[in-house]
Amino acid sequence: MSGRGREPLRIGVLGAARITERSLIAPARATGHRLVAVAARDRGRAEAFAAAHGVERVVSSYAELVADPEIDVVYNPLANGLHGPWNLAALAAGKHVLSEKPSASNAEEAAEVRAAAGRAGTVFMEAFHYLFHPVTRRLHELLASGELGELRHAEAMVAIAAPPRSDPRWSLPLAGGALMDLGCYSLHALRMLAPWAGGAPRLTSSRAGERADAPGVDEWLDAGLEFPGGATGSARCHMAYEGLDMSIRIVGSRGEATAANFVLPQLDDRVVVRTAEGERTEHLGTRSSYTYQLEAFAARVRDGASLPLDADDAVTTMELIDACYRRAGFEPRPRTRV
């Protein structure tokens, strides 16, 4: 729950995206936070969304929502290209912002979001929910404890079956592409290994394949990384894959650990550990990573608790995404004008 004596977050939702039921609606119900308002391009769709999910009211536009004095947190699950503009608008209105990732279309825009968050003095966080789940925390514990030895290699793959052609994830003007939608998880998960790898990784290689009917949009991308301590990394993504793969494997000098689905561990909470002592499978729980995330975000907003994610982290991720695109022969995603 939001905690005895603590006010619940008063959340406004931009758009009526399908992901919101899983990423925010259910977690808000589980933790006692209020869903104050929703806005969508189609008011009828917003009304249906509010009725289905218990949102208190509908407002007529995104601009009206970010200006609403009853809202203190704006959740932004819009198309990638609309993350930057509406994150900037919400921060300018003095709101806390929980943004789907990435925070912007490119590093330049992400830096503007960071500056806006600094001016606002509010909490800004990209929704890398996986980081708050016990599955990822356990992987980090295995490295920190020394059970796996020194980090030698890490590989992450995030792949899904192809969305319909009309999906905005295939739209270059809306900052689409496999790396933006999926590969950001692979890159971020490897970046988070820096404490056990001598520091942040650098990009060593990147190659990608263009979607046949979407010029400039990557259907898949493979990036190679190297850490200062000598460990290597592979961050892969594919948005027209045969099935689902959201796995990460961490290899050390004394053993290795694999999470079957680090992005959505509520679907598969296994961590398999292999060392000289043998192999074991740990189950870390199927409570939603999104619920853990909302709890952590609320603790930051209400109590000033620390967070592993902030606007600086968002810029670093976006700089690496831009570098991957350039190295693979693509352009960073264009800014979307609203």
The type of residue at 201 is P
Phi/psi at 103 (5° precision)? -70, -15
Does position 77 have pLDDT exceeding 60, yes or no? yes
The residue behind tokens 């350039």 is: 326
Sign of CA dihedral 7, 129, 272, 246: positive
Does position 10 have pLDDT exceeding 90, yes or no? yes
- The Cα-based distances of 182 to 234, 249, 321 in angstroms read 14, 17, 11
Q: Report CA 62 to chain centroid distance, whole Å.
A: 22
Instruction: Name the DSSP letter for residue 338.
Output: -
What value does the mean pLDDT take over residues 91-106?
Answer: 98
Does position 6 have pLDDT exceeding 80, yes or no? no
Are 227 and 101 contacting, i.e. CB atoms less than 8 angstroms apart? Answer: no
Does position 69 have pLDDT exceeding 90, yes or no? yes
Give CA–CA dist 235/288, Å, rounded. Answer: 24
Tokens standing for 7? 């006010």
Predicted pLDDT at 1: 42
Give CA–CA dist 177/216, Å, rounded. Answer: 9
Give CA–CA dist 56/281, Å, rounded. Answer: 43
Which pLDDT band, with edges at 50, 70 and 90, does 225 fall under? Answer: very high
Tokens standing for 94? 């003095």
Q: What is the pLDDT of residues 192-206, one digit of tens each?
A: 999 999 999 999 999
Q: What is the pLDDT of residues 284-318, one digit of tens each?
A: 999 999 999 999 999 999 999 999 999 999 999 99
Q: What is the pLDDT of residues 159-184, one digit of tens each?
A: 999 999 999 999 999 999 999 999 99
Task: Enumerate domains of the chain plus CATH numbers.
Answer: 10-127 (3.40.50.720), 130-291+322-327 (3.30.360.10)
Give CA–CA dist 217/177, Å, rounded. Answer: 5
Q: What's this model's pTM, rounded to 2 decimal places?
A: 0.96
How are beta strands 255-259 and 218-226 bridged, if at all?
unpaired
Which pLDDT band, with edges at 50, 70 and 90, does 275 fall under? Answer: very high
Which pLDDT band, with edges at 50, 70 and 90, does 208 fall under? Answer: very high
Alpha-carbon dihedral 306, 308, 313, 314, rounded to 10 degrees = -90
